[in-house]
């Protein structure tokens, strides 16, 4: 009798246990949902995200009521909510493993990822890649007038002016783009390529398209010159850009050191996290040997690196360089800072007339470098207003 009671009690306990497990199993999806929804809100009570995204300023919190208050606050919150980096890392890792295009990331072939910048918006990488859309004749003339005004603006102050453009990654490694997109490509010459040719023929502005130099280096080296999982060029690509720029400027009485990249100059210096939604996977980070024993003094680092000033008393070129840059310009800093006596790097958010004039008065540059990546090329359409006569 006692054995029978123990047996039945055991059966009842097991049934009760399974019943509880089943109840919790049904509650699990709801618990997970509540966790993912309220996790950022709870965490925001004690911390927030402060990491820069794609080398741009974080959105600021709106302080005044306006018709755009809700939209501005949403943009601010999307940039700064606590746990954002962790959540995106998990989400991106899952999508990368499944080979799914995530947000502005295009999953390419052989593990490569590309940037669909129009979804941000942050330029138009796919329009540039397809090679079908062109700048109109009116737009080309508008650009030519604008950059000529820029050249004249700096020339009046005794400042040399040069434009340098880095091609989009999609143009440099088009063979790794998805086949469905390769089939839509009409030409390997983008609207930027043709616009540069137009400006070179119809203006006096010094302008360099790095595309040819980078393509040549790509065919000669075994290493990549752009990151497979990031939208930018790596240390090798940016050094090739510096070399092309130095060779060009040396034709105009500059004295910049030039040494073409070779395998014995390249070394691995850790890894690089992706600026795309490819989380949990990192790229190899390369370094090119260039005056490694030369010490450069950092005079200013403001606004999380958006305003940088360096001094190098032993530089081969004794002039002062001032660069308006985007994120690709960061790759040029290690080389230009060693080549020029003084270098100033201002993010493109400083590309406003009053700010430019103030910076010029402060630093008195000999050369102004207008650096941008291909997807930002249409900003020259605004240069008539930026550099036109003040009203």
Assigned domain for 88 exists: no
| Together in a domain, 174 and 59 | no
pLDDT of residue 55: 43
Which residue's structure tokens are 């340098």? 164
First CA to last CA distance, the chain: 105
| Together in a domain, 228 and 345 | yes
pLDDT of residue 258: 97
The CA distance from 224 to 215, in Å, is: 11
The CA distance from 116 to 105, in Å, is: 6
| Together in a domain, 52 and 125 | no
Which regions of 245-339 does DSSP assign to beta strands (E)?
266-273, 282-288, 297-302, 307-311, 317-325
Assigned domain for 251 exists: yes
Q: What does the H/E/C string look like for 38-101?
A: HHHHHHCCCCCCCCCECCECCCCCCCCCCCCHHHHHHHHHHHHCCCHHHHHHHHHHHHHHHCCC
| Together in a domain, 125 and 31 | no
Assigned domain for 213 exists: yes
pLDDT of residue 121: 80
pLDDT of residue 102: 58
State pLDDT tens for residues 219-268.
999 999 999 999 999 999 999 999 999 999 999 999 999 999 999 999 99
Assigned domain for 106 exists: no
| Together in a domain, 163 and 290 | yes
Assigned domain for 100 exists: no
DSSP codes, 94-139: HHHHHT--BTTEEE-GGG-EEE-GGGTTS--HHHHHHT-----HHH
The CA distance from 312 to 320, in Å, is: 10
pLDDT of residue 95: 52
Look at the chain and report how many structural domains it folds into. 2
Point out the domain boundary residue: 55, 80, 105.
80
| Together in a domain, 54 and 133 | no
Point out the domain boundary residue: 80, 110, 137.
80
Lookup: tokens for 166:
């880095």
Q: Is the omega angle on the peptide bond into residue 121 within 30 degrees of 0, that is, cis?
A: yes
The CA distance from 291 to 30, in Å, is: 59
| Together in a domain, 52 and 140 | no
Assigned domain for 104 exists: no
Assigned domain for 161 exists: yes
- The H or E element containing residue 306 is none
Domain with 137 in it: 118-387
Assigned domain for 127 exists: yes
Q: Which residues of the chain have pLDDT under 50?
A: 52-56
pLDDT of residue 29: 76
Contact 338, 292 (CB under 8 A): no
| Together in a domain, 73 and 212 | no
| Together in a domain, 308 and 373 | yes
| Together in a domain, 173 and 278 | yes
pLDDT of residue 28: 72
DSSP codes, 158-198: T-EEEEEEEPPHHHHTGGGS-HHHHTT---SS-HHHHHHHH
| Together in a domain, 6 and 143 | no
| Together in a domain, 66 and 130 | no
């Amino acid at each position: 009798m006692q054995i029978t009671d123990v047996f039945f009690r055991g059966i009842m306990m097991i049934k009760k246990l399974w019943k509880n497990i089943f109840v919790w199993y049904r509650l699990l999806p709801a618990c997970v949902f509540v966790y993912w929804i309220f996790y950022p809100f709870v965490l925001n009570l004690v911390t927030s995200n402060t990491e820069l995204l794609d080398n741009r300023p974080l959105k600021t919190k709106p302080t005044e009521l306006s018709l755009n208050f809700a939209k501005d606050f949403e943009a601010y919150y999307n940039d700064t909510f606590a746990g954002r980096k962790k959540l995106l890392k998990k989400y991106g890792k899952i999508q990368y493993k499944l080979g799914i295009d995530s947000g502005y990331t295009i999953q390419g072939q052989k593990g490569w990822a590309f940037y669909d910048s129009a979804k941000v918006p942050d330029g138009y990488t796919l329009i540039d890649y397809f090679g079908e859309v062109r700048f109109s004749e009116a737009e080309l003339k508008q650009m030519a007038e604008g950059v000529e005004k820029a050249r004249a603006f700096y020339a009046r102050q005794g400042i040399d002016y040069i434009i340098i453009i880095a091609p989009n990654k999609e143009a440099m490694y088009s063979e790794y783009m998805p086949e469905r997109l390769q089939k839509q490509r009409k030409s390997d010459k983008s609207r930027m390529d043709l616009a540069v040719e137009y400006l070179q023929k119809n203006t006096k502005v010094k302008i360099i398209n790095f595309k040819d130099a980078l393509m040549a280096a790509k065919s000669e080296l075994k290493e990549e010159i752009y990151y497979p999982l990031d939208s930018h060029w790596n240390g090798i690509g940016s050094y090739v850009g510096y070399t092309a720029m130095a060779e060009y400027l040396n034709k105009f009485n500059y004295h910049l050191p030039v040494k073409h990249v070779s395998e014995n100059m390249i070394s691995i210096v850790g890894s690089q996290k992706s600026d795309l939604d490819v989380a949990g996977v990192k790229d190899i980070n390369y370094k090119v040997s260039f005056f490694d024993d030369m010490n450069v003094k950092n005079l200013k680092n403001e606004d999380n690196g958006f305003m940088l000033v360096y001094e190098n008393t032993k530089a081969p070129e004794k002039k002062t360089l001032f660069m308006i840059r985007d994120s690709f310009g960061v790759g040029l800093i290690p080389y230009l800072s060693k080549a020029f006596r003084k270098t100033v790097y201002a993010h493109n958010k400083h590309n406003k007339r009053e700010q430019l004039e103030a910076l010029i008065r402060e630093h008195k540059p000999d050369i102004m470098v207008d650096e941008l990546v291909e997807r930002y090329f249409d900003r020259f359409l605004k240069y008539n207003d930026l550099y036109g006569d003040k009203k």
